[in-house]
Structures are given as structure tokens and as C-alpha cells.
Structure 1
């Protein structure tokens, strides 16, 4: 059984292990609501061999909420992952067609459900293509259904009320992955009815500052980015627009050696549209 060497693997590593037993590859591509691109259609037209499409936006998401792609219950996650043919002892590698954008969301989901052997492909599908690695297209044979069991780890996720109670707690740092203009409220939010600005005491750390040309920046630079906005012993809570790029920060923080990492799943879509929560500009 292959074990991922860390939470981030290279295309060379994946190419070397491509045909290993118990290795599952997931395409977690997702685009902003304003985009006309269709990620599942693109997956069917061109993908890493044997990659299965992981739909965290519509299918593997909590159905009983008004907010987009919220973390599903362990029971829903178990069912969906079992239908993808994934076992608890599988090594899972997740990629997206941006390079590094939505794949860390699925990495975080698996982490929250207790899966240890999970990694994101650095550089994503563009890096895979640039390396002249094999691709496939067309329909993929249905996976043999497994019996996956989640072991939910609640420290990976936080709700809005709990987060609000921690905003003045100096043992916590809230890091916002949105662009600086959205953070400071000088640029309107892309979703209607969502206020501009940020949470009291939150710090701005745009996810784009952790990435260069679709790859994570070097570990030393990652360490410096997080040290600039937080203390090493602080618990880090990550937020963004709708809980996707917050997971880029979570993965980057783990790569930088940080512990106590939590994602605010509802993120600014929930906070900015729920008027009982305070907003600063």
C-alpha cells in the first residue's frame, strides 16, 4: 500500500505510483459560480488515468443548508466515498485543473473525517500535462462499492457562533484567504446580499500569496507568511468566500509546520449575509 510522503506530492511521485494498488486519484476541480466552465464535463474529456470525479459542490455536501458546499455529515460522506470505491486504508491524491485552488478543500474534508493517507498534487493537472504524463478520457467504469467509515475530527471545523465567541481570544488567529480589497470592503462581494469587510481582529492572508504558478511556495516562505500574521502557538482558523480557498491556507499552514488548524466552513458567504455577526471595514 502506498503511503503519501506528506500532504503535498509531486507529479513525479504520482507518476511513479500511478498503478499502485490502493491508490485513488480524485479530480476535485471546481469553478466560481460566475464561470461557465463545467468541471465534471472537463474531467470526462481529459483527466489523470483512473481519476474519479469528487463533486464537493453538489453531491458530497450538506443538503439542508442555504450555504454552498458545506461539509456533509459523516454518514453522507461515508456513503458517497464508499460509492467512489475508496477504502479507509487507501492512499488518496487530489488534484484540480487550476493548479492549486479547490483540491485542498477535499484534502480538508478527508482530514475532518479522519483519513490520514491523503495528499494534494502540487501544480495540479497543469503540472501533470506539462510533464507529458499520460491522460485518459471518456466514461470511467463504475467503482466497486466499499464500506468506508468516517472518524469525524471536530477540531478541523468550526461554526459561526463558536467562532464569534473566539474573536477576542488571543490564543486564536483568524486568517482570511480572500483578496485584500474584499477583506477591507473596498471591492463588492461576488454574491448578492453579502456585506463587504471582515471579522473583528481577523488578519488578511490572501491564498494567492502562498502560490506561484500553480505550486505552493517554498516551505521557508510559507513559514514567513504565517509568522507575519500569527504566533506559532496560536490556533489558526481559516475563512474565505465560501470555504474553498480557506483550505489552501489550512494546507499551507500544515506544510509550514503549524498545528491546531480549523476551517470556518460557512466562511464569508454565511458571516457577511447573517446580520447578527459583526463586520469591520
Structure 2
């Protein structure tokens, strides 16, 4: 059993499935290149009682950016319709183990839920343990969710510009090293390659092994090698704000309490002509 307070093992979760006050959430989301489709996979097999959290739908529809953080009211209505209360124990998982679930973990915590965890190893770990799956859709009785945005969890463009200009915080980028260095093209049209001045590369793939978050010693070594000091404030970024949350989760697991997420991430920063960009390795 993990001693990480933000993780729960498959065996422990299985003992509590169906308990009042427990909400299980499938937060699977995939990049186009992965050629996987989250909702059909959910309907083909998900944890008993789980609901599907659509990261592209529970978002700010007025924003030109993908899956941007929605308003308090929108988030509260959307997750309340899934039968989730902010007072529940909320367990999040995804189909890869440790990929998109941290984003939804971060969203629930950003909107005031206190007891939010990831299923250690995600859906693959549940299946490997031999536990049953349900198929089809999942209808829930709506519940009130009182969402209150924590402004200390998120960074928006104007503040991000100041952070970069002043070097006020460390910046950790979860994209691949090739994209960080502008050696590989960005997947979205019109987005420049490279990284924010002062940013450090912490690819999401380095944080987990076989779909499970690495242990504390390994995580500390990864951040040290990247030039990130967990004792100092960190802002995370990625392509569009999803995988950045994996760094938030890893830092919170050390623990680290002064980590925020730049919601617009590289899609916003790299598509503008008034934001500085560097290429090559971190300086």
C-alpha cells in the first residue's frame, strides 16, 4: 500500500466500491496521435459505479484554447450532474495509469474538493488485479457541488508574463524534451516550438513507470536533474494544460505546497507574438 495520501491502491478501493460518499471518476483523455477514444473505451469497460469526466466538455466554452478551466458555476453544475459532491472521497483514474487523471485531480482540488485521490496504476492496475468492470453508460442522481475556485492553484496569461519576465518562480514543462527544445514540431497549427525563458524540462514520461508514479527518492532525483528545487515555488506547463498536472501531483506527493498550473500552457504562449520563446536545452 502506498503511503502517498493522494494515491489509493486497487485492493483498497475495491473494498470501498459502492460506499456512500465515494465517487469514482474515469478521467481518460488521449492525444490524437495515441489513436484511442476515451468515451467508447469507458462504455466498453469501467470501474463499477464510475462516471465519465469529459475534459473537453467540462471546460470554458468561450475560450479559443482547448479544455480551459471553466467557471465555478459551470464546473459545479457539470460535476453535480455526475452525482459528485465536494465533500465526497473522489477517486480519479485513467486508461493509461498516470496520464490525464492528474488534470482532473487538480481541477477538483482547485474547485474546493478536499479528499481527492488517484487510483495507483489506473485502469490497468484494476484489471491486472482481476477486479470486475461494468459496461455501458453510468447514470447518477444529481448532487449539489459547491465549487469555490482557489486562485492559488492556477496562473493565467498576464501573471505568467510577469513570472517569466521577473524570474519569480521556477517553471516546469511536462512536454517531451524534443518539443521543449523545438526539435519536434508542435501538434497544433500556428504554435511555435520551444519553451518559455527560464523553463525546465520535466517530461511526464519520466515521472511514472508502468503507469504508476515513481517513488519519492526517484522523483526528487528527477527534479534535481531538471534543475527544479521542490522547496521553492513552481509553475507547471505543458501543451494544453493536461499533462502539466502530473508535475503538480508529483510535487504535491513529496510534499510540495507552492505549485501552480499555467492553464493556457504552451498552446497559448506559443501561439502569440508578444511572448518570448527560447529553443534548445534549458539555460
TM tier, smaller: over 0.9
Partner of 1:113: 111
- The answer to whether structure 1 residue 215 and structure 2 residue 217 are counterparts is no
SS of equivalent residue, structure 2 residue 276: coil
Q: Does 1:193 align with 2:190?
A: yes
Q: Distance in 2 between matches of 1:90 and 1:234?
A: 31
Equivalent positions of 1:56-71 (< 5 A) are 56-57=55-56, 59-71=57-69
CA deviations 1:221-272 (Å, max 9, x no partner) are: 1122223322243111000011111000100111111111100111111111
Taking the TM superposition and a 5 Å limit, the aligned residue runs for 1:1-281 are 6-57=5-56, 59-140=57-138, 142-228=139-225, 229-281=227-279
Could you tell me whether the CA contact under 8 Å between 2:184 and 2:193 is conserved in 1? yes
How far did 1:149 drift? 0.4
Aligned-pair Cα RMSD in Å: 1.5
Give distance in 2, aligned partners of 1:111 and 1:90: 12
Does the 8 Å contact 1:226/1:253 carry over to 2? no
Question: Per-residue displacement from partner, 1:63-84 (whole Å, max 9, x unpaired)?
Answer: 0011100000001001001101
The SS at the match of 1:167 is helix
The CA distance in 1 between the partners of 2:23 and 2:267, in whole Å, is 32
Equivalent pair of 1:171/1:234 in contact (CA under 8 Å)? no
Size of the aligned set, in residue pairs, is: 276
Q: Do the aligned partners of 1:220 and 1:256 also contact (CA within 8 Å) in 2?
A: no
Q: Decide whether aligned partners of structure 1 residues 251 and 232 sit closer, same or farther in structure 2, where only a CA change above 3 A counts.
A: closer
Q: Shift of the alpha carbon at 1:169?
A: 4.0
> Equivalent residue of 1:182, what SS?
helix
Specify every segment of 5 or more residues in structure 2 that has no aligned partner in the other structure, as ranges.
none
Alignment partners' CA distance in 2, 1:113 and 1:105? 12
2:218 is paired with a residue whose SS is helix
Give SS of 1:107's match. helix
Point out where structure 1 has 5 or more consecutive residues left out of the alignment: none
**Secondary structure, counterpart of 2:164 in structure 1:** coil
